[in-house]
Amino acid sequence: MGNELIRMSAAELGSAIAAGQASAVEAAQAYLDRIEAVEGSVNAFLHVDRETTLAQARAVDARRAAGEELGPLAGVPVAHKDVFTTTDMPTTAASRILQDYRPPYDATVTARLREAGLVVLGKTNMDEFAMGSSTENSAFGPTRNPWDTSRVPGGSSGGSSAAVAAFEAPLATGTDTGGSIRQPAAVCGLVGAKPTYGGSSRYGLIAFASSLDTPGPFARNVLDAALLHEAFSGHDPHDSTSIDAPVPAVAEAARRADVAGLRVGVVKQFSGEGYQPGVLQRFQESVDLLESMGAKVVEVSCPSFDTALAAYYLIAPSECSSNLARFDAMRYGLRSGDDGTRSAEEVMALTRAEGFGPEVKRRIILGTYALSSGYYDAYYGSAQQVRTLIKRDFEAAFDNVDVLVSPTAPTTAFPLGERTDDPMAMYLADLCTIPTNLAGNAALSVPCGLAPEDGLPVGLQVMAPALADDRAYRVGAAVEAALRERSGSDFLSGSPYAV
């Protein structure tokens, strides 16, 4: 029965458990066995505790037996990015500086997963402190892409994307600061969404860039992503940036899957030089498909998007420089060189030198420089002005169209090690995703085929205005349904890790 449960979508599995056709314990057991079978090749997880997972599943079954009304995903396993605090598992943010750290409280996203009855399988690998686009910056080794284990799974949420793509979990959480859900979703052939900023709580999320970080879902189809989105989103008084408004009806939109009459804008700036031809080919086919389903397609120019990458790599490192100052060896985590002869300042310096990896150090240095008194206006201040221009470009575009579309990433998954010595090449992986983070809007990536050059997944990005997340899901679901009807099978059936 294990493989049968693993082949189900999250929605199907939740329904089967609710109907008594399976139990949460059986579902958890099936996925734990799958993790044991394939994890050695993928390295998606940093922590899995079979007994803790099964105890969670037994508790869900007991709640249902007691007559408690549970949500549609009750009993469904989920992989949890290791940047959300968890009281029953370590939370390391894939950094040596937090190795074996056990938080005293659950993140709001964690707590809401538990309330909804989802069963946390374990904590997934990531780029250290969510800084990267390949999950090669983890202190605990890189994660591999299940479509081709010589290639990256994207980042920073690459452990979560690889876990879902390898059928080690039906759902996963991630965080999106500059594309860290959408880009790994695209290169692993998954659905990944960045909710409206403030639509999902950052409380208990180890901060990278506080004005950008956004928790969101990974899934193998649009409806599953929407159900997970609804399960952990909503206003949280613990988060001062949380929006006090209803969660957009994303599951309803995913079931609607209709684009007739919608105005779709193709972003002019996201094409041309630097884009893999096969990515552009699949993207254009998706645009043609939308038009054939009744959408009105127009080209839209957003000139400030050309400067988004530069602005992001001043704003995000500046916020990271401030946020990571708290890791000082004085209260928790790693402490190096404390032999009784050194001052607190020396211990802090030695700990940070040993505990942070090269990419984290690079961004701390860059951010500290951008915030320094002589350069603040020239760098950080100017970047914030560009951010305002990007918001205005989005506002102008959404006056004329309902959603914007683009490739999610300029290329398919690149080989492990190819960009580790070239930070600028690595940063270009987020070229299409960053503007949405700077503006705070909603966006979603949905698979749109395989690139003919290498047979690897390509993602279509759908961008929507703030609090109009349902529009992105509606378009994504329509594309998904049309492509499934055309091929006669689910997209992931072509993966070497298909069950």
Of 156, 160, 161, 201, catalytic = 156
Give the bridge partners for 124, in sequence order. Answer: 45, 81
Residue 224 has pLDDT above 80, yes or no: yes
Residue 488 has pLDDT above 80, yes or no: no
The arithmetic mean of pLDDT across residues 339-343, rounded, is 92
Q: 190: pLDDT confidence band, cut at 50, 70 and 90?
A: very high
The one-letter code for the residue type at 270 is F
Residue 233 has pLDDT above 90, yes or no: yes
Are 447 and 458 contacting, i.e. CB atoms less than 8 angstroms apart?
Answer: yes
What is the three-class DSSP state of 216? strand
CATH assignment of 2-302+392-494, given 3.90.1300.10, 3.30.390.50, 1.10.3080.10, 3.40.640.10? Answer: 3.90.1300.10
Of 23, 81, 123, 318, catalytic = 81
Distance from the Cα of residue 163 to its chain's centroid: 12
Q: What are phi and psi of 172, to 5 degrees?
A: -155, 155
Catalytic residue check, 156: yes
Residue with tokens 């100052």: 325
The arithmetic mean of pLDDT across residues 313-319, rounded, is 97
Catalytic residue check, 391: no
Average pLDDT, the chain: 97
Q: 331: pLDDT confidence band, cut at 50, 70 and 90?
A: confident
Q: Which of 237-246, 293-302, 391-400, 482-491 has the lowest mean pLDDT?
A: 482-491
Angstrom distance (rounded) from CA 123 to CA 100: 12
Angstrom distance (rounded) from CA 135 to CA 330: 28
In terms of DSSP H, where are the helices of 257-381? 277-292, 308-323, 344-355, 358-371
Q: CA-CA distances (angstroms) from residue 309 to 189, 376, 404?
A: 24, 18, 18
Instruction: Express as a percent the part of the chain with pLDDT over 70.
Output: 100
Angstrom distance (rounded) from CA 171 to CA 119: 10
DSSP conformational letter for 163: H
Catalytic residue check, 161: no
Of 134, 157, 161, 180, catalytic = 180
131 CB contacts (<8 Å, ≥6 apart)?
137, 156, 208, 320, 359, 360, 363
Angstrom distance (rounded) from CA 117 to CA 74: 4
The arithmetic mean of pLDDT across residues 259-266, rounded, is 98
Q: What is the pLDDT of residue 207?
A: 98
Q: What are phi and psi of 202, to 5 degrees?
A: -95, 0
Q: Tokens for 19?
A: 């109907």
